[in-house]
Structure 1
Amino acid sequence: MVFFATVSARPLQGGDDKDVAKNDSVAKVDTVDSADPASVVDEVIWVVGDEPILLSDVEMARMQAEMEGVKWEGDPDCTIPEQLAVQKLFLHQAAIDSIEVSESEVAQSVEHQISAWLQMVDGNKERLEEYKRKSLAELRISLHDDFKDRLLIEREREKLVEDITVSPADVRRYFSELPEDSIPMVPTEVEVQIITRTPKVEQTEIDRIKNELRNYTEMVTSGQTSFTALAKLYSEDPGTARMGGEFPDYVGRGMLDPAFANVAFNLTDPKKISKIVETDFGYHIIQLIDKRGDKIKVRHILLKPNVSNEAIETASMQLDSIADEIRAGKFTFEQAASFLSDDKDTRNNNGLMANTTESGRTSKFQLRNLPSEIARVVDTLKVGEVSAPFQMINEKNGKLVCVVAKLKSRVEMHRATITEDFQTMKNIVLAKRKEEFIKDWIKDKIKNTYIRINDRYKNCNFEYQGWVK
């Protein structure tokens, strides 16, 4: 029989374990009962709030780090579970603060990760699947919960430090006290302009997708099968397919694509299926589950049309011609971007990409903050030079687009100066203040959150004190 180690059932004074966790009350740190290793398939090694950390979670994190070449500071047997426990603290607070992320945001993050992995194997899907030992569909499903948690943690961290500011005097004071050789280096920064063309999906492919969705609707309404079963089998939304197309929670209009929301919020009968809806992600049919005030719970099936190699080649050739005419002086890159680019985010800004940072929007990027496909190309360009066409995945909707890029400016790595790099230096001081606040918050949260920990971790040299008392 499969045996799982269990948490000690000894009750706490004043209420049961879950009540203490949910109320975020101060509680003494207990230990998780150990079990005979030979009889354990998996084991609860920590409990943070009412969230368990399993031994398999630690092993999975270790394996992932090894695959990605990440080096752990200190003993990984102690460092990894502590980092997982800190993540649980943020997730616990995110639940208290009602932090939400949309399924489209999760899907975008998953697609960006898969795109980065594909770039590492030269776009060879078969090699990636062999290396990861999973199909792309299985990878998307396996990444969903992890990336949702990452986004929730990121949002909670942002909320915690949103009111922290620094003044110009704070910046000058901080750097005046630093030895000259300790003043930070400012990494190379670039400004990049792009023109994109989205390969056109052939009408026959759109018709095929719509016919599939109409067929699904007919199968459900005639009682042949359920919407849930079809979503599990055929939906191409990695975040909801495994749950029968069902969104994990009630959502408001602002969490959904506008076209999707317009149709979903007009549904009134859970037995009926919506008309086909087109969004930036593909084509959907939607079924209402429930309405609660200004929020709804729905399930959907998403199908994404395939783009032919001929369409990709056509878009690339169009961009190649545009780039040649820019080089020949027939018109400027700015004019071409304004009138010919498909990219909504840059078209009205002469193709200039914008970087959103903690201090606001800027046109300057460090190469590591650009999409990897663009960074790799831009790093080979001279200022004013226009690239050859290349392909990339749009981070927002996961669609393939063809791109030409121009390097508008480049400032090489240098030591920061208060006159030339004040904003960068301000960001450094602000980040330091926020980091100090977050560390103090974690220490306080450890004191005020119910925690149980396995005996064998008591002798670890943890970064934060208070896990063991």
Structure 2
Amino acid sequence: MKTRTKIFCGLSAMILAVVLSAHAKQGARRTAADNDSTRTPSVAKENPVVPETSVIDEVIWVVGDEPILKSDVEAARLQAEADGHKFKGNPDCSIPEQLAVQKLFLHQAAIDSLEVSESDISQGIEDQINYWIQLIGSKEKLEEYRKQSVSEMRQAMHDDFKNNRLITMMKDKLVADVKVSPADVRRYFNALPADSIPLVPTVVEVEIITQNPKVRQDEINRIKDQLREYTDRVTKGETTFATLARLYSEDPGSARQGGELGFTGRGTLDPAFAAAAFNLTDPKKISKIVETEFGYHIIQLIDKRGDKVNVRHILLKPRISQEEITNAEARLDSIAADIRSGKFTFEEGATFISDDKDTKNNHGLMAYTDQENRSLTSRFRMRDLPTEVARQVESMKVGDISQPFSMVNNRGKTVCAIVKLKSRVEAHKATITEDFQVMRNVVLAKEKEKKLHNWVVNKIKQTYVRMNDRYKGCDFEYQGWVK
């Protein structure tokens, strides 16, 4: 309700496998010893050396009190290869080192009491899944490709997304005071060989008008009947609200918690949801059905503290038919024709006709948060545009208006849209006069990288590290692992 990443296997199951393997080996040694005690020393046999290839799993590094398993390295290798990542140096050395560095950042994040809220984790996972859906074309194609349901993807991604977010937060904290001056930028740029001057990618500005496909009344009735049934089952004592939320709620973040949102202020909730939640007074009663931009909800009060409330909810999202998508695209086709004929401008259409709440107050101009600079900008690199928008913009000229198309927005809803290309700056070699900000970001990134590198080297000196002997001859990026 509150408003992408490398996946590594979890440790718990693997650690259990290692412990069981160790117990099995100890038992085998005791049995062998008992058998050998009945023999003469001349016929006793030494325990054979187990080939490495026959080991199912093992702890290969320990960083602090955190183990790194052989299976972790293999999982990271497979994921990186799937993502097209090229390794620096020997992957057998670089991958466990990368995992070890992550352990250092996570350890420091725990010391500094950094936390990630469940709502942030949920939103981040949803953004990643929606990006995949846009990339591959549909939810069904994504599930077929990954051989997992979307629900299974969410569960598998949770812990790793949380850890990656903590690592990012820790890095941001460590480099928060790094600054560069204009003189630093000029010195760096002047010292660069001509063939090393960075290429500035194509940058575009895009305006958008969206129409939400209408939901059929019989679909709305189906959703409401289902929510009423849930309310009746809880009221009659047949089951609990939390159980039904875990089983059926389509809000992935809270469903894991039995629908619980945690103590939340009114301003972070959808207005209609907030009004219903803050009006609840009896934890034994369930709210009437509430409609928000996310779908339809029922809500149960847990507790109130001052200006914050803790509730559970169940969210169900209506399904959109292809007929309604076609109708919405037809409406947009008519709007585009009126704009081309001069009846009104694209910007006026975006302001008064568009259903897109994020852009209609800005005349339809799309914007996003640049993660590198932590700033809101309307200047998109093509890779940062939603996939379906980028496909339209790729072949457009400045001032062109696209044909209607459908896409999944950042809230996971199917919408139909037309876009106008407002501006385009083609890819070019950076110049200090026209691309100062780009050059500043390059220099700033290098200074931050240097500080993080030095922090890791120093942290290694203060941290217990043990590794299998076969890794001690590796050419590591960071010095000090071998002690």
Q: Is the TM-score greater than 0.5?
A: yes
Alignment partner of 1:427 is 2:441: yes
- List aligned pairs for 1:223-302, cutoff 5 A: 223-246=237-260, 250-253=262-265, 256-259=268-271, 260=273, 263-264=276-277, 270-288=283-301, 299-302=312-315
For 2:174, the aligned partner's letter is L
Distance 1:439 1:332 in 2: 52
Aligned to 2:37: none
Give the counterpart of 2:215 among 181, 201, 215: 201
* Offset, 1:321: 1.0
Distance 2:279 2:461 in 1: 47
For 1:375, the aligned partner's letter is A
Identity, in percent, stands at 63
Aligned residue for 1:419, secondary structure, equals coil
Distance 1:307 1:160 in 2: 46
Deviations, residues 303-324 of structure 1 (Å, cap 9, x unaligned): 2121122221121111111111
> What TM-score comes out, normalization by structure 2 length?
0.80
Structure 1: stretches of 5+ with no match in the other structure: 8-33
The answer to whether the 8 A contact 2:151-2:252 is kept is yes
Distance 2:239 2:393 in 1: 51
The answer to whether the 8 A contact 1:387-1:405 is kept is yes
Aligned to 1:4: 17
Aligned residue for 1:345, secondary structure, equals coil
The answer to whether the 8 A contact 2:210-2:418 is kept is yes
For 2:164, the aligned partner's letter is R
* Offset, 1:255: 9.5
The answer to whether the 8 A contact 1:257-1:279 is kept is no
User: Which structure would you say has the larger Rg?
Assistant: 2
Give the counterpart of 1:216 among 215, 218, 230: 230
Give the counterpart of 1:388 among 400, 403, 407: 403
- List aligned pairs for 1:41-440, cutoff 5 A: 42-123=57-138, 125-246=139-260, 250-253=262-265, 256-259=268-271, 260=273, 263-264=276-277, 270-288=283-301, 299-357=312-370, 358=373, 360-395=375-410, 397-440=411-454
Pair 305,429 (structure 1): closer, same or farther in 2 beyond 3 Å: same
Aligned to 1:11: none
Deviations, residues 220-268 of structure 1 (Å, cap 9, x unaligned): 2322122333223212233343454356xx5543895344556556666
Pair 258,237 (structure 1): closer, same or farther in 2 beyond 3 Å: closer
The answer to whether the 8 A contact 1:102-1:255 is kept is no
For 1:462, the aligned partner's letter is F
Aligned residue for 1:348, secondary structure, equals helix
Q: Which moved more, 1:96-105 or 1:334-343?
A: 96-105
Pair 118,183 (structure 1): closer, same or farther in 2 beyond 3 Å: same
Distance 2:430 2:198 in 1: 6
Deviations, residues 252-304 of structure 1 (Å, cap 9, x unaligned): 43895344556556666655444444443323334455677877665432221
Distance 1:232 1:328 in 2: 52
The higher-RCO structure (CA 8 Å, 6+ apart) is 1
Pair 69,199 (structure 1): closer, same or farther in 2 beyond 3 Å: same
Structure 2: stretches of 5+ with no match in the other structure: 1-13, 21-48
Distance 1:401 1:141 in 2: 26
For 2:360, the aligned partner's letter is R
Aligned residue for 2:350, secondary structure, equals helix
The answer to whether the 8 A contact 1:191-1:407 is kept is yes
CA RMSD of aligned residues (A): 3.2
Pair 355,246 (structure 1): closer, same or farther in 2 beyond 3 Å: closer
* Offset, 1:349: 1.6
Aligned residue for 1:196, secondary structure, equals strand
* Offset, 1:136: 2.5
For 2:130, the aligned partner's letter is S
Q: Which moved more, 1:386-395 or 1:357-366?
A: 357-366
Aligned residue for 1:239, secondary structure, equals helix
* Offset, 1:370: 1.5
The answer to whether the 8 A contact 2:134-2:407 is kept is no
The answer to whether the 8 A contact 1:112-1:393 is kept is no
